[in-house]
Amino acid sequence: MDNHISEAIGRPDLVDLGNGLVCLRFETMKALSALAAVRHLCDTGAVRPGDTLIDSSSGIYAYALALACHRYGLRCHIVGSTTVDHTLRVQLAVLGAHLEQMEPCSDLKLDQSRRVRRIKEILRDHPDYHWMRQYHDRVHYLGYRAVAEMVAEQLGGARLTVVGGVGSGSSTGALAHYLRGHAPDTVLVGVQPFGSVTFGCEHVADPEIIIAGIGSSIPFGNVDHTLYDTLHWVGFGAALAGSVDLLRRHAVFAGLSAGAAYLAARWESRRAPERTVVFVAADTGHRYVDSVFARHREAADVDSLAPHRAADPSQLALPWSRMEWGRAPAPEAARWPGDAAEVPGAAPVA
């Protein structure tokens, strides 16, 4: 039995979709990561009951951190972007989390840097607050160790390819880090939206909406570029086709980043049928009912889609591109100036 709902919400299911494709399906992926990070901070005495944790979020992490604070008797202060919707705002209020929502801003880079500036102002007035830094602190890797253990145990012996959207980089980075302790030949495939600086695609904009939660306009310390073998860039229309097909063919109701990962995973599975391809579905489809699922009639047939092969970032093109990354370091514009931290107290799965 769980001691708190956050444990249940963060625990994923592994669903065999057939033909070597496996869905690692979360209700709210970051609940697990925030819970383990906050537990680590409490255990090491870095924070104590009653302390305030603060971070910036576009939505899913705000909810996860509010749950973790509720679990451990801490206060929660979120500087949120306009993507924090009504449902989440109401839940955060009832959970006792303090949300400061920024004014609307169409420029993602400006929005991200404005939120960081606001956090620094708050920390100046409240130096006792603990800044979680979900994008940069490797403490956010810890929660995925148990997931890697579950994957290793349930798919024991299979040659694995992991496919997932890269936002902060914690989920895919941590899964590869921990799984490679158990199975060193685990392949890692990252999925990005067009326009993201993280793997050098800032020069190709997606004319439709950005896929929430993945990609970035600024460098993130938690992305370890040297873990990734292959990258896919998926535009909104192709991700929509993936999300609709995932629901129609497999009855999995998941978000847009999951649809993009599913599309990439199908492709990787066909290229390497001897491997088991596990893709991450980070959230449910509820937030995307109008923008994605209601448009199901206009979804392209996924079998008619294929990625454009890019030899380097200058060749990336809509609606879908694939490039061998070859565990290369970060491109100049995505280089995090801080230290590349170790994952605290966490060995790979043996």
Ligand X SMILES: Cc1ncc(COP(=O)(O)O)c(C=O)c1O
Residues near ligand X (CB under 6 A): 60-61, 165-172, 212-214, 255, 257, 282-283
Using the minimum distance from each CB to ligand X, give the nearer residue, 161 or 192. Answer: 192
Smallest distance, ligand X to C-beta of residue 58, A: 7
195-199 contact pairs (CB < 8 A, 24+): 195/108, 196/233, 197/333, 197/334, 198/166, 198/169, 198/223, 198/334, 199/166, 199/225, 199/228, 199/231, 199/233, 199/313, 199/325, 199/331, 199/334
Smallest distance, ligand X to C-beta of residue 292, A: 12
Using the minimum distance from each CB to ligand X, give the nearer residue, 213 or 242. Answer: 213
Taking CB atoms, the residue at the shortest distance from ligand X is 213
Please name the residues in contact with 264: beta carbons below 8 A apart, sequence gap of 6 or more.
163, 189, 191, 232, 234, 279, 307, 322
Using the minimum distance from each CB to ligand X, give the nearer residue, 112 or 168. Answer: 168
Using the minimum distance from each CB to ligand X, give the nearer residue, 274 or 290. Answer: 290
In DSSP terms, 130 is beta-bridged to: 53
Using the minimum distance from each CB to ligand X, give the nearer residue, 255 or 307. Answer: 255
Smallest distance, ligand X to C-beta of residue 222, A: 7
Smallest distance, ligand X to C-beta of residue 308, A: 23
DSSP string, 201-247: -TTS--SSPPPTTS--SS--TT--GGG-SEEEEE-HHHHHHHHHHHH
Half-sphere exposure of 244 (CA within 13 A, CB side): 20
Smallest distance, ligand X to C-beta of residue 168, A: 3
Smallest distance, ligand X to C-beta of residue 274, A: 27
Which residue, 327, 331, 317, 338, is CA-closest to 198? 331
Using the minimum distance from each CB to ligand X, give the nearer residue, 190 or 237. Answer: 190
